[in-house]
Structure 1
Amino acid sequence: MIDFNSVALKNQRIFYSLLFKAASETLQELALDKKYLGAQIGITAVLHTWGQTLSFHPHLHCIIPAGGLSSINQWIKSKNNFFMPVKVIAKKFRGKFLAFFKKEVLAGNINFYGDIDFLNDNRSYQGFIDTLYNKNWVVFCEKTFKNAFYVVNYLAKYTNRVAIANSRIVKVKNHQVTFTYKDYKDKDKEKFMTLHVFEFIRRFLMHILPKRFKKIRYFGIMGSRN
């Protein structure tokens, strides 16, 4: 079975928009539940599409205040363990994202071509969707920031980046590009990867966003309308 990333790469504008929609609705709806917070939160969401080796890995970074506004506009502080279990978030996000995705497919807005052309067959498509529902989707929650400085520092690192910084490129020679990367599966060790220049360019170009696509969005009490 193909990876969902193959579909995302061929339908970037819609796929990325669905990421924002599903993630923001998931977090806001769960936060309104009194079991977790019982308040309207705010979200600053930033889209990233790359992994350390320039692989295609679309995901969102979301910053949420440690609390929110009640129905009478009183501030409700988060519990000591903050917010809610990641498994709860993951299951709800999976359900929302796939529901939105299927709706776009029915509307004819998702294109299956090239190596995913077989998904135009109804049986293959349904098998693909069933596989996605049966997978455990991953949500990771960082520890809370100590103060506002750390929030600004985090945003500075993540909001205005491209797929790779010049400082990570250590050598370009004989049509080969060598760069550093962190291997998160090996205790964040710094390692080196060498790619043919055409492969390096191909990987880099995957992370150029659709024209005028907004990769930073605000929701809830962080939204400009509020």
Structure 2
Amino acid sequence: MDVIEHFIEPFWARYSGSITVEQRKALQATLQCRTPALGGHRYACNCGQTHHAFHSCNHRLCPQCGAADTAQWVHKQMGKLLPVPYFMITFTLPEELRSVMLGNRRAMELFFQCSSQAISELLADPKRTGFARSGFFGVFQSWTQEMRYHPHIHYIVPGVGLTEDDQLKHLKNPKWLIYAEPFARRLRTLLANQLLDADLIEKRLFWQLVKMDWNAAVDPAGSGENAVKYLGKYVQRSVISDGRVLAIEGDRVCIRIKNRDTKTYETRSMSGVEFIHRYLLHALPARFHRIRYRGFLHARGKPKLQWLQLLLDARIAKAVEPPKPAHAGYLCPRCGTPMRRTSRHARAPPAERNQHFFNVVAA
């Protein structure tokens, strides 16, 4: 990403002593993505034209990577959709918990655990939907349009479930699931207590959290297709794409954002150092999974999902065109014919890649 390369020196001079291991790895991966440091291949054409293609870093924060994985994920989820109404449940944490969550894998795991438990419990309530066995999946997202840290989880929930004796259970009203307030209150109780028990918050903050209103939203999502496509943007995509960076003006960066209230595009400006700082806020801890599946959508729940499909007469998944590969080879920019691979560039050893990174940031 040109912006990061442009401002890496002043950023490193200011933040090198405070960034985490995950942030350093994300920064190095982004800077070395599709460069000779990661190796690649040489292609040639009969007309004499040559082309060097270097490997991607495949880091989940890198804006150049993840498009193919996203398409595959969306394709897979489309095949699991049931012929029922869907809903999106979104949990957003209070501002007081953002510093607790930032880079803390244990806290983030508890957020997932408690929010999914809140959904399961409320769906199982016979006074509400009565889904003794439900299924849903959630995607963790940490950013706003302005790249600020704003942790929240989107869940996609089908409006159908199973009773204790595995009988089909539909919603009484296909346009209505449950009010948002019970989800928010249940998450508040579960998560505040879990964070306190794990010594991740002090009692003073605990009492502050349990007295405030938490935020949850429940929105109808139709057949679920658009919701899956929407979440696909966050599965393997970065906090910002190259296309949203409009210009570098002196020591500042201009980016494009979408105002969700007016549904118009606007411009925001920030220093280049601040841009990199916000970018790295979203480097996830190692081994933290951004996507979680629960109930009959979990791998272990496949028999229940197949039983549901049978009951709903949906044994054959909806036909979805398989995503096209990112590219079917390189075409010669001169004559337009397919190029052939002629040689391979070896990936630089880890020590050499690390040294190259430190040479760049401390140049």
Separation (CA, whole Å) in 2 of partners of 1:206 and 1:158: 15
Name the structure, 1 or 2, with higher relative contact order (CA <8 Å, separation 6+): 2
The answer to whether the Cα contact below 8 Å between 2:221 and 2:227 also exists between their aligned partners in 1 is no
The answer to whether the Cα contact below 8 Å between 2:178 and 2:218 also exists between their aligned partners in 1 is no
- Equivalent positions of 1:1-226 (< 5 A) are 3-9=96-102, 12-39=104-131, 40-80=133-173, 81-105=175-199, 110=200, 125-145=202-222, 147=223, 149-184=225-260, 186-226=261-301
Shift of 1:98: 0.6
Q: Could you tell me the TM-score, scaled by structure 2's length?
A: 0.54
Deviations 1:125-163 (A, max 9, x none): 332221111111010122222x25334423423322211
What is the count of residue pairs matched by the alignment? Answer: 205
Q: 1:148 to 1:140 in 2, by over 3 A?
A: closer
Q: Which has the larger radius of gyration?
A: 2
Unmatched tracts of structure 1, length 5 or more: 111-118, 120-124
Separation (CA, whole Å) in 2 of partners of 1:155 and 1:128: 32
Q: Could you tell me the TM-score, scaled by structure 1's length?
A: 0.84
Structure 1 runs of 4+ off > 4 angstroms?
none
Per the alignment, in what secondary structure is the counterpart of residue 58 of structure 1? strand
Separation (CA, whole Å) in 2 of partners of 1:182 and 1:134: 33
RMSD: 1.8
Per the alignment, in what secondary structure is the counterpart of residue 140 of structure 1? strand
Of residues 76-85 and 46-55 in structure 1, the stretch that sits farther from structure 2 once superposed is 76-85
Per the alignment, in what secondary structure is the counterpart of residue 132 of structure 1? helix
Separation (CA, whole Å) in 2 of partners of 1:152 and 1:189: 23
Per the alignment, in what secondary structure is the counterpart of residue 139 of structure 1? strand
Per the alignment, in what secondary structure is the counterpart of residue 208 of structure 2? helix
Shift of 1:168: 1.1
